[in-house]
Amino acid sequence: MYQEKSNDVFESKGIIEWKDGTDVIILNVEGGNNVPMQYSVEDGKLVQLDIDGNFITGDLAENYVLSKVDKNLVEKYWKLTEINGQPVIMEESVIHEPHFILKIFGNRINGNSSCNNFFGTYQVSADNKIEFSQMAATKMFCINMEIESQLFKVFEMADNYVVTDGKVLVLNNAEMESLAQFEVACFE
């Protein structure tokens, strides 16, 4: 998909073969212009190479990195149920239920912290490692901002995650201590 150009998705299919003695695969595209596509195989991702087999550089280079996606994690509405070992109790002063969605496109996160909307980016890597960055939020003031404050600290400290049965997400710190627990919200 070309970002900010259209919502059309372009798909390439064909036969993949390893380039001898390298960590590069070649996709011989069915039909099309018969120009093979080359990818460097890296930890949990493929990096598309240019027509000569070189890494693409410049401002758009990150758009040619294809990351492995955990379908149990992304594109789901994760509702906060526990934070710092305590259940989240929704008080009348809470405007929205705290939640977030990890979007596949652009590795974006957006949600609500119980008072303010927030957004940023995330990166998932091998062994269920996760990192949140470039986090920002609206600046509304609410009567009780405790949940919001704790949730933003969770995003700063989160190192890894566990998804159980595709329904429960736990964000952990580097010592595998639970920071927060979320459940998939169903809207049926």
Q: Identify the pLDDT of residue 36.
A: 86
For all residues of the chain together, what is the average pLDDT?
88
Q: Where are the domains of the chain?
A: 14-67, 77-184
Is residue 171 scored above 60 in pLDDT? yes
Strand partners for 184:
78
- Candidates 86, 140, 131, 142; CA nearest to 109 is 131
For the chain, the 3-state helix, strand and coil shares in percent, each to the nearest 5, are: 10, 45, 45
- Domain 77-184 architecture: Beta Barrel (2.40)
Looking at the predicted structure, is the pLDDT value of residue 180 above 70?
yes
Q: For position 49, what pLDDT does the model report?
A: 94
**14-67 has CATH 3.40.50.2000 classification:** no
pLDDT over 90 (residue 66) = no
The pLDDT of residue 188 is above 50? no
Q: Give the per-residue pLDDT at 127.
A: 86
Where helices occur in 8-162 by DSSP H, the ranges are: 146-157
- Asked, colleague to colleague, whether 14-67 and 77-184 share their fold, the answer is yes
On the question of pLDDT at 80 being above 90, the answer is yes
156: helix, strand or coil: helix
Q: What is the pLDDT of residue 69?
A: 79
Q: Which residues contact 7 (CB under 8 A, 6 or more apart)?
A: 1
Whether residue 81 has pLDDT greater than 80: yes
Q: Is the pLDDT of residue 152 over 70?
A: yes
In tens, the pLDDT along 82-118 reads: 999 999 987 765 568 999 999 988 889 999 998 899 9
Mean per-residue pLDDT, 33-57: 88
pLDDT band at 74 (very low <50, low <70, confident <90, very high): very high
